[in-house]
Amino acid sequence: MKEYICMVCGYVHETDGELPDDFKCPLCGAGKDAFRLKDLCREAGFMLPQSENTGSF
């Protein structure tokens, strides 16, 4: 299972595959290009939301 995190609001989307090209964040409406793989964000040192799915940092 892959976890993608919205870099705009912090929403985490779980999926078995890739995000579809027309994917939009259900919380803020950001497009697919605003999402990053959560594991890669951790490895790169990006700050992740303290409370996932709430958008609070």
Please indicate whether residue 55 or residue 20 has the higher confidence score (pLDDT): 20
Residue 39: strand, helix, or coil = helix
Q: Which residues have a Cβ under 8 Å from the Cβ of 43 and sit 6 or more positions away? A: none
Least confident residue range of 13-17, 42-46, 53-57: 53-57
pLDDT level of residue 51 (50, 70, 90 thresholds): very low
In the structure, what pLDDT confidence band is assigned to residue 47 with cuts at 50, 70 and 90?
A: low
Measured in residues, the chain has a length of: 57
